[in-house]
Structure 1
Amino acid sequence: MAPPQARRGRRPQPPAVPGGYQARVGWLLRINRLYGRDESASIAADFGRRFGGTGLQRPVGEPTISRWETGRRPVSHVVLRGYEDLLGLPAQILVAVADAARPVDDGPGPASRDAGTEQRTEDLLYQAVDGAVMAGGDWTDLTGGLLAAPRIVLFPRDTWSGLAERLLAEMVIAESTGWLQRIEALQRLLRHPHGRPAVIRAVGDLIRDGTNQVFVDPLTLLESVGHPEATGHLLRQIADPTNEHARRGAWCSAAEKIRRGHFSPAELNFLSRQATDLLTGEAPHPGCRVAAAELLRQTRGDVASKFTGVLRKAADDDAVTRHVLRRGRMAAAEAAATVIERLAGHAVSRLPREGLAEDPLLEVLLDEMLFHPQVSRRLLAAQFIEATPYRPLIAGALVAELGRCSASSPALACAILQALSTVGDPEARTLVQKLVLATGIPPEVTEAAAWSLGHLRGESPVAFWSTALARQLGNTPVGPSALSLSSARGLVYGLGVSRNTAMLRRLSSSAAGEPAVRTAAAWWLRTPRAVLDSTGR
């Protein structure tokens, strides 16, 4: 599940205020209880009594509900699953988002080592190794069981590598809750003494493979890892990237990794020089510019002071760079506030029941989803909204906003398209398809639209895919541009997610076709059946 446009990222450390981790999880519970399908759940006392039938096995009082939902009491997996069960939510949707948002150093402890857990771990291990279908919840249980046994020995020793490679292969094409479950499973392996080197090696192998189609996700997985080998993979992709997509992924990861203190002074100096060169060089991809500017903003008081004059010129030449350097956002404060107020007002006013005049935390999430320079923050904010009754309301408002800004504000349009691939409804596909086919809009918007279709809810007709590919690969004196080729690859990614095997075969075998498209289609066709079946819709 990963447009190279930085579709997703790896769990950022949430800010302390506003809306720290516990407050955000509490908000997730509160909004679902008050505005979900079950109106009777809005009475806290009645809702609390129902917990006797959940894994908690006892009713709770209204004060406990209040403390959970205001972040004054930590919420366990048992409580999260209780809300899912009582509110009729998809299994694991709250658990997965809460785990993704949890600060890395405060991750949930390993599963208990009772006989039942050990037997399920063993069964799932055989299931994964034998190439059977693995659901997202299976990976959660397997990696939790392995983490509970740090001295476990798997034979043969390359079993660890096989697990890491398969899980990584599933993660890069999974979506929604299934993607969150798999990236959390990879994080558990990274916390295991034997799993960590296997995952880092698997990521290194994948991002060095020029035929690979997804680079941002594997690279951002390394954001939370301070291991020198993980840092080395990232720095090499900045200095000598496998391709442009790998370059974007490396910059996205570096911008997040730098605040975790993973780089030495020499590495910080190298990154600052590379970022300065990028901002003053020949038209880098906007995603790289944003990430480089954010990296320099974070290092300005440390090693970047020598680049002050260069940064001033870069800020004068590009408005988005200027806003990132000055305030850590991709737009001016007033412009961003206008969009946020419009979206939040639309959603709050259309909730199924009265109760809210405004929702400050929703506004914080909208700000992060659309204007934060770091990919991980944008994605995590979208995933929070996706897991609430706000999702369809925000989806509709985003479509209207996209219609206003697709040509005039490419940075905002790209952020909206990325958000729609998480929160959007099938109705959004009509506009997104039009943007793929349109002329006269910024090429980075076309690219973002092409990649967003893969995980946007709904389906596109076969005729659209053929027409869109022909448009992106149309005859020009110098051939397709780099962004047009990336757009075409994004379209092939969408065909793969929808499992359009017939069209993938035609594209991969076309002797007259564009080599990059043939490679992209062939990548999907050689993806193991177990991986496809485990991640299918």
Structure 2
Amino acid sequence: MTGTGESSGAARRRGRPQRLPIDPTPVTDLGVGVDQRVAWLLSTNRLLGPDPELARRDGFLKVLKEQGVQVDNTRVSRWESGLQPVPGRVVATYERVLGLPEGAVVSVAAGLRRGFGSAPPPRETSLRDEDLTSGSFEGMLDVAEHGDASGALWLRLAEQLHKFDRVFLRKEEWIRLCGQLVEELGVAVGPAYVRRYEAAATMLRHRAAQRPMLRAIGSFVVHPDTQVVAPVLNLLTELPDAPAGDLVLRLLGSEDGNLRRAAASVAAYKVARGHLRGDALGQLETAVLGALRRSDPLDGRLDFFDLAVHLPDDSWERVSGGLRTRRAFGMVTQARATSELVPHVRTVAIVAELAATAQAQTPTQHSREPDPMLRRLLREALLHVHKPRRHHAALVIAASPYAPAVAEQCLRLTGHPNDLLAARAWTVLMRIGHGGREDKVVRRARTEERPTLRARALVNVGMACAGLPEEDATALADAVTTQQRPADRHATLFALGMQGATELKALAEHDQQDIRRGASWWLERGPAIHDADAVGAS
């Protein structure tokens, strides 16, 4: 199948290349732009990679030319300095030449351009040289529908579908395909999640796939027993239209706390992008006021804090007048002015030490010089007020050779006496992975006594890719029946469910309804997805 031809199989698909509309409005000024971040990701993977020949520019140029990329030293220099945008096809070539998992860097770069670029990303016919045959495309569809696709295959499939403005699949085929992708997205971890998310975002931009994707997202998140919401609901940030906004507003009024928090995060993004209509502001103001009046804004309510920061000035004035404490008012006001959760002066030394230590612990073929981009990304991942900025900064680090060393430093930071810094460190670990330190993560999580941190720590246990020792699984199963905080019970079930613990079978027959239904949901969904080609890649 080619970009100008047609696919095969029961006259399913036919069309020609077309650019679909993408909202070009940048979320906010990145300071250092998207091109510079992509350039840093490519150059660090080359310079800090294990092959000394590829770390040398002339050696790398030679291999690029062997891959059919005819460029000179000047062009590579402009790519790796961010002076010229790097085409997705070249990013894919870097992956192949450097021995990185397929789509690991492509997906991160695509997410940056889609979320923060000042213009729509360029439409490319293909990221790879080969064109799929009719049989191989049909084979990909079958593998994906049956739940056997890797993140790389999902990316390839979405790329092929996106080449055509009309794709003909039977209704039940679209439902199975989109439903399977959304189901996998709910339990995928690390590169497995990032690659599937980019595949889903690509499919959402296709007119034929958008309706079944929205149906799959809605069915997943509104199921009464759903235990994982945010990873799937975040897809609604990709759609600027009214139906997506209406669904977010409806979920913002849900009685389920997890749904409300996830919806608040998506609403903050949509407010920043101008996706929500003006008549939605009243509901947003009510939600923010209700959340920030009940407790410390940074005590488990970061999503509402983010939403408060991105409300228009007149909306914030109305909300601030109803807050009970000057602390909440001061924290949001400071964040609205600086875009940081904590004033820079209080954390600059901590971030600088984290970056310097991580850089020193990362092997290199060259002399070490301070890496200001690593420091910037660490600061954003830990302390930026806007969740998408924190998320994507962490994903860039995760796709770089610094990831294992940064994981070590974040694990150390989880013991910091400042609860906010410790909580942020636990969350960054969810994004960048554990760098082979899963045993330390489990031990630290099992011994975490601070209530505001325990749930985040347990979520990390669930995302660990090395498995859960039987004694730990038994202890967690015993704990879930005695925990008083709903957040702790939910996180413990998450840990057991993502690890596929056999103890779930007994919990699925527990007298307590929320435990019984939560365990049953996990038994039905199965454990976490870690793509085999990406495990340990960082």
Normalised to the residue count of structure 2, the TM-score between the two structures is: 0.86
Secondary structure, counterpart of 1:303 in structure 2: helix
Secondary structure, counterpart of 2:515 in structure 1: helix
Stretch of structure 1 that moved more, 44-53 or 348-357: 348-357
Is 1:526 aligned to 2:524, yes or no?
yes
514, 517, 520: which is aligned to 1:516?
Answer: 514
The residue aligned with 2:218 is 204
8 Å contact kept, 2:89–2:126? no
The residue aligned with 1:303 is 315
450, 460, 467: which is aligned to 1:452?
Answer: 460
Is 1:357 aligned to 2:365, yes or no?
no
Stretch of structure 1 that moved more, 353-362 or 443-452: 353-362
Change (3 A) 1:125 1:256: same
The residue aligned with 1:6 is none
8 Å contact kept, 1:133–1:533? no
Deviation at 1:321, TM superposition (A): 4.7
| Aligned mates of 2:441, 2:333 — CA distance in 1 | 29
Deviation at 1:88, TM superposition (A): 2.3
Structure with more contact order per residue of length (Cα contacts < 8 Å, sep ≥ 6): 1
Is 1:495 aligned to 2:499, yes or no?
yes
The residue aligned with 2:470 is 462
Q: Provide, for residues 392-441 of structure 1, a one-character-per-residue CA deviation record: whole Å limited to 9, x for no partner.
A: 111121222222x1xx3222222211221333436644443344333641
Structure 2: runs of 5+ lacking an equivalent? 1-23
Is 1:249 aligned to 2:229, yes or no?
no
8 Å contact kept, 1:315–1:322? no
Is 1:74 aligned to 2:85, yes or no?
yes
Deviation at 1:370, TM superposition (A): 0.6
471, 483, 499: which is aligned to 2:479?
Answer: 471
8 Å contact kept, 2:104–2:195? no
| Aligned mates of 1:295, 1:533 — CA distance in 2 | 32
The residue aligned with 1:274 is 287
The RMSD of aligned alpha carbons is 2.9
| Aligned mates of 1:534, 1:362 — CA distance in 2 | 26
Change (3 A) 1:36 1:427: closer
Stretch of structure 1 that moved more, 452-461 or 333-342: 452-461
Q: How does 1:322-341 map to 2 (within 5 A)?
A: 323-341=334-352
Secondary structure, counterpart of 2:169 in structure 1: coil
Structure 1: runs of 5+ lacking an equivalent? 1-10
| Aligned mates of 2:385, 2:25 — CA distance in 1 | 12
Deviation at 1:209, TM superposition (A): 0.7
8 Å contact kept, 1:136–1:178? yes
| Aligned mates of 1:410, 1:35 — CA distance in 2 | 33
8 Å contact kept, 1:414–1:448? yes
260, 263, 272: which is aligned to 1:259?
Answer: 272
Deviation at 1:184, TM superposition (A): 1.0
8 Å contact kept, 2:448–2:457? no
Q: How does 1:111-126 map to 2 (within 5 A)?
A: 111=125, 116-117=131-132, 119=134, 120-126=136-142
| Aligned mates of 1:244, 1:168 — CA distance in 2 | 21
Identity %: 25
144, 163, 168: which is aligned to 1:153?
Answer: 168
Q: Provide, for residues 467-511 of structure 1, a one-character-per-residue CA deviation record: whole Å limited to 9, x for no partner.
A: 13323432xxxx622222223222223323xxx4x3332332x34
Change (3 A) 1:480 1:285: farther
Change (3 A) 1:452 1:200: same
The amino acid that maps onto 2:478 is: A
The residue aligned with 1:506 is 506
The amino acid that maps onto 1:396 is: E
Deviation at 1:90, TM superposition (A): 2.4
8 Å contact kept, 1:215–1:245? yes
The amino acid that maps onto 1:485 is: R
| Aligned mates of 2:132, 2:157 — CA distance in 1 | 9
8 Å contact kept, 1:386–1:422? yes
Secondary structure, counterpart of 1:459 in structure 2: coil
375, 378, 381: which is aligned to 1:366?
Answer: 378
Deviation at 1:275, TM superposition (A): 0.7
8 Å contact kept, 1:252–1:291? yes
Is 1:167 aligned to 2:181, yes or no?
yes
| Aligned mates of 1:521, 1:482 — CA distance in 2 | 14
The residue aligned with 1:400 is 412
Change (3 A) 1:322 1:430: farther
8 Å contact kept, 1:211–1:520? yes
Q: Provide, for residues 71-112 of structure 1, a one-character-per-residue CA deviation record: whole Å limited to 9, x for no partner.
A: 122212332222222222222221121112112562452646
Is 1:194 aligned to 2:236, yes or no?
no
Q: How does 1:198-237 map to 2 (within 5 A)?
A: 198-237=212-251
The amino acid that maps onto 2:464 is: L
The amino acid that maps onto 2:73 is: E
421, 424, 434: which is aligned to 1:415?
Answer: 424
8 Å contact kept, 2:45–2:400? yes
Normalised to the residue count of structure 1, the TM-score between the two structures is: 0.86
The amino acid that maps onto 1:495 is: Q
Deviation at 1:282, TM superposition (A): 5.7
8 Å contact kept, 2:341–2:384? yes
Secondary structure, counterpart of 1:151 in structure 2: coil
Is 1:39 aligned to 2:25, yes or no?
no
